[in-house]
Structure 1
Amino acid sequence: MESEARRPYRMGARAAAMEVTRTRVLQAAAGLWMQRWYDDVTLQHVADEAGVSVQTIVNHFGGKDELADAVADWVASQAALTRQAPTGDVAAIVAALFEDYERHGDANVLWIAQVDRVPAIARAAAHARGQHRAWLERVFADRLPAPGPACEHALNLHHAATDVYLWKLWRRDLGLSREDAERAMCDLLTSIDPRKRNHE
């Protein structure tokens, strides 16, 4: 009886330990790929960084491409937690977006530069674009037209105005302060508000 009672606890503890290991591997891989090209990072590099064996990574994820897919999903989930903003509050929306870009923007740009030659990154980028568009639909729901061509046009404008490359242009290429870059994005988003243009 005692052994049966302890079995669910042991199984639960094992599952928790596996989840801890999985998260450690994801964090290690994400950290490496945020700084280095995809081809320059091996499973051995990830294993060394995470303090596990390569076989452990294979058991959890499979190969390198599968790990990259899992990393993309994990990073996207972390971004979703960061990007909490009330609908229609442009300043809060931009602040939430910059909180994400300031931490992951350089890595995003590095990954996007490899889209054409690394299938796993192409899949991750497509997934990220879809998530970003869904986020835009949610936080700008108060200003977007009803579903149709006008809504798609407005979403395209908002997507361009909040793209990571625009953050890179302002923060990295032009050297704007975060405050000035956020103000520029707020001004741009205000200028493309469909409600204002429809009354001009």
Structure 2
Amino acid sequence: MENPGRRPYRMGARAAAMEATRARITEAAIGLWARRWYDDVTLQHIADEAGVSVQTIVNHFDGKDGLAEAVADLVAARTADAREAPAGDVAAIVAVLFEDYERHGDANVLWIAQIDRVPALARAAAHARAQHREWLGRVFADRLPAGGPAREHALALHHAATDVYLWKLWRRDLGLPRRDAERAMRDLVASIDPRKGDDE
């Protein structure tokens, strides 16, 4: 007769194994989609990378779109964790942002380029914009007006000055060294006068 006391252990081990499988699949998808277009990556590619079957991916995520949603959630959570910065310290804030962009900026740009045809990426991009805006409001709280149109104007300026496409312009299109690109972003952020436009 089976020992009832072993069942919780077996169930716990099974849950841990399932979670490990999901993690391998999502990591494989992140790695492939960071380098290649969404449509060019098949479930078979992801399965081969993760060491699982296509059916296993379907069982866990219901298919490619479900996997894309899970990837978007994971990337958003990691971005939030990676962007801890002291409020009000422009140099430290820009340094944290650049660290994130240097690791994930190319993938972000690749994903943004596909939002018109991949709904999961469009939702992820919208969430990322909202997340970035909330982060700006927190780390630049000392530089922003309390509320109203003036705050919205100041937030828009800070958003533009810290956008991933500006990083791409400096680092990829113009080929600036990281040190120079980071300095350019610091100078641009520091030059913003949040009080300008209060009376407009």
Q: Pick the TM interval, shorter chain.
A: over 0.9
Structure 2: runs of 5+ lacking an equivalent: none
Measure the CA separation in 1 of the matches of 2:152 and 2:128: 18
Sort the Cα spacing of 1:135 and 1:166 in 2 relative to 1 into closer, same or farther, 3 A. same
Q: Contact 2:150–2:195 (CA<8 Å) still a contact in 1?
A: no
Normalising by structure 2, what TM-score?
0.93
Normalising by structure 1, what TM-score?
0.93
| Helix, strand or coil at the partner of 2:22 | helix
| Helix, strand or coil at the partner of 2:141 | coil
Shift of 1:3: 2.5
What is the aligned partner in structure 2 of residue 162 from structure 1?
162
What RMSD in Å do the two structures reach over aligned CA positions?
1.7
Measure the CA separation in 2 of the matches of 1:186 and 1:92: 9
Measure the CA separation in 1 of the matches of 2:66 and 2:155: 31
Measure the CA separation in 1 of the matches of 2:158 and 2:4: 57
Query: Among the aligned pairs, what percent are the same residue?
Result: 80
Matching residue's letter, 2:11: M
1:86-120, Cα deviation, whole Å (9 max, x unpaired): 11111111111111111111111111111111111
Structure 1 runs of 4+ aligned residues shifted over 3 Å read 195-198
| Helix, strand or coil at the partner of 1:176 | coil
What is the aligned partner in structure 2 of residue 94 from structure 1?
94
Measure the CA separation in 1 of the matches of 2:138 and 2:3: 50
What is the aligned partner in structure 2 of residue 192 from structure 1?
192
| Helix, strand or coil at the partner of 1:115 | coil
| Helix, strand or coil at the partner of 1:169 | helix
What is the aligned partner in structure 2 of residue 133 from structure 1?
133
Q: Contact 2:150–2:197 (CA<8 Å) still a contact in 1?
A: no
Shift of 1:23: 1.1
